[in-house]
Amino acid sequence: MLKAFSGGTLSRDFTASIVVFLVAMPLCMGIAIASGVPPEKGLVTGIIGGIVVGLLAGSPLQVSGPAAGLAVIVFEIVQQQGLSALGPILILAGAIQVIAGLLRVGGWFRAISPAVVHGMLAGIGVLIVVGQFHVLFDDKPLASGLANLLAMPGQLFGLTNQDAAMAFAVGLVTISGMIGWEKIRPASMKLLPGALVGVVLATLVAFFLGLPVARVVVPESIMSAVTLPEGNLLAQMMTPSVITTAVAIAFIASAETLLSAAAVDRMHDGVRTNYNRELSAQGVGNLLCGFAGALPMTGVIVRSSANVQAGGKTRLSTILHGIWILGFVALLPWLLREIPMAALAGILVVTGVRLVSLDHAKHLLHRYGPLPAVVWAATLVTVVTTDLLTGVLVGIGLSLLEMLPHVRRLGLKIDETSWDNKHEVALDGTASFFSLPGLSARLEALPAGRVIILNVERLGHIDHTCAEMLREWIDRRRNAGMEVELFGAAGRLRQLAA
């Protein structure tokens, strides 16, 4: 932490923390509302994610807080088991994450197929859009994604209701302000987030016109948002439904966190992520969120990328953003109560649309053929039509099909040879997600001052998960000014070339 207080980084971390705070505030509240819980629950998670997880994190520049990726599953928990079930589930999920980190299994979460992860996020994006569409009309989302989808035309036909029409207009002002600002903002104000501009604009319109739209409900004291678990905590944690849901949340939150951490690593040249430490830190955060009755947390890419782009250099920027949220909620709750619900729904609609990345599906199809693209689409459709965990399991099951022709030769041998200023890494066998953690560890340990020759001449097969990891490693090393040469079969080289 001493480095954080050196003159060169303190001012940059301070500035970055304010930017992250401005991005995080509307998202924390909006994701809470999308999850079917009061907005202050999301703010508590943001505070814990900033201050506590920021201190412990294995990825110093990653920001943790409530994630859109878990909003759907939390909504289902609240609808089916009640808000009181969330505490025991998160305590158990957090404990699983802490143990997983201590057992050093963090690297295995990186072995999940990118097609599955992006398909899951796309499915979540669709569910958020069709759910929050109803909140744009000051209505409540229905229990399932399909029900919300089928009810969308009815909302549009109901615009003759004046109050619903005004709420919808406020939502459109938010969306227009958010997207418009991101398109026209001058370079000098590029760090001012579009989400904040959209919310402020809609809030001012609703305030000065005195519109009768639903507004955010925030308690007088942040402490009243903390709900301790009930006395029969241990009995609740032993319930099969709680155990199953806790395992699902631990798995999905860990995968999303560690993939976000990998993405953050690609944005800067500083300290690399310690995946096991990050996993345990997230577990501690979710344990505390469980005891506080708040939302689950993950590492979140939107806030993390804002942190890097704003010039954050150490974990101090993440910690300070949590302190700013705490101070704002403690001192200015009256200001939060002026925000229209439809404004937060507008932000989440845009967020949900952006989660559906067709570009990623096109990238998979173009570079690796139809199977990864099918995995992406199948995961998306299953998440929307059934539930999150089923969608992920279907995606993982389909991604295993890529290995069937190579099931007799799944091993990967890694040989290293050094001479002069060169270091050759020869891969022999099948590079799959089974071998990804070990291969990744070997690559990260390679010397920085030598030319690396990656020899894939004897590589029989490489799946798209391993190929994506290798491409990212090659890009990162080259961007740092180090030389990487590729040698081997033309087909393999095309997969790995940037």
- Residues 25-67 have pLDDT tens digits of 888 988 898 888 998 999 999 999 999 999 999 999 999 999 8
Domain closes at, from 319, 336, 353: 336
User: Mean pLDDT over all residues of the chain?
Assistant: 87
User: Does one domain contain both 61 and 153?
Assistant: yes
Residue 495 pLDDT: 64
Grade residue 493 by pLDDT with cuts at 50, 70 and 90. low
Q: What percent of the chain has pLDDT over 70?
A: 96
Does residue 344 form part of some domain? Answer: no
| 106 token code pair | 């963090």
- Residue that finishes a domain, picked among 298, 319, 336: 336
133 domain residue, yes or no: yes
Instruction: Report d(CA 403, CA 426) in Å as an integer.
Output: 21
pLDDT digits 0-9 by tens, 201-228:
999 999 999 999 999 887 778 788 888 8
Residue 260 in any domain: the answer is yes
- Report whether pLDDT(180) > 60: yes
Which pLDDT score, from 0 to 100, does residue 409 have? 76
The reply to whether 460 falls in a domain is yes
Residue 431 and residue 330 in one domain: no
Report whether pLDDT(170) > 70.
yes
Secondary-structure breakdown of the chain: helix, strand, coil percentages, each rounded to the nearest 5: 70, 10, 25
Same domain, 304 and 420: no
Q: How many domains does the chain have?
A: 2
Segment 69-89, tens digit of pLDDT:
788 889 889 988 888 889 999
pLDDT score for 406: 72
CB–CB of 345/30 below 8 Å?
yes
Residues 419 and 322 in one domain: no
Which range marks the domain in which residue 90 is found? 9-336
Task: Please indicate, yes or no, if residue 118 is contained in any of the structural domains.
Answer: yes
Q: Which of 188-192, 370-374, 408-412 has the highest mean pLDDT?
A: 370-374
CB 459 within 8 Å of CB 425: no
* Range of lowest pLDDT (307-316, 431-440, 489-498): 489-498
Statement to judge: residues 332 and 416 lie in one domain: no
In a domain, 347, yes or no: no
Please state, in angstroms and rounded to a whole number, the distance separating the CA atoms of residues 366 and 126: 24
Is this structure's pTM higher than 0.85?
no
Residue 424 belongs to some domain of the structure: yes
The lowest-confidence range among 93-102, 220-229, 293-302, 488-497 is 488-497
pLDDT in tens, 107-153: 777 777 888 878 887 888 898 899 889 999 999 888 778 888 888 99
Confidence of residue 2 (pLDDT cuts 50, 70, 90): very low
Which region among 7-11, 47-51, 287-291, 305-309 has the lowest average model confidence (pLDDT)?
A: 7-11
Is the per-residue pLDDT at 7 higher than 60? Answer: no
* pLDDT tens, residue by residue, 398-417: 988 877 777 777 789 999 99
Do 168 and 291 lie in a common domain?
A: yes
**Which CATH number is 438's domain given?**
3.30.750.24
Query: Does residue 363 have a pLDDT over 80?
Result: yes
Neighbour-count burial for 288-307, b at 16+ CB within 10 Å, e otherwise: bbbbbbbbbbbbbbbbbbbb
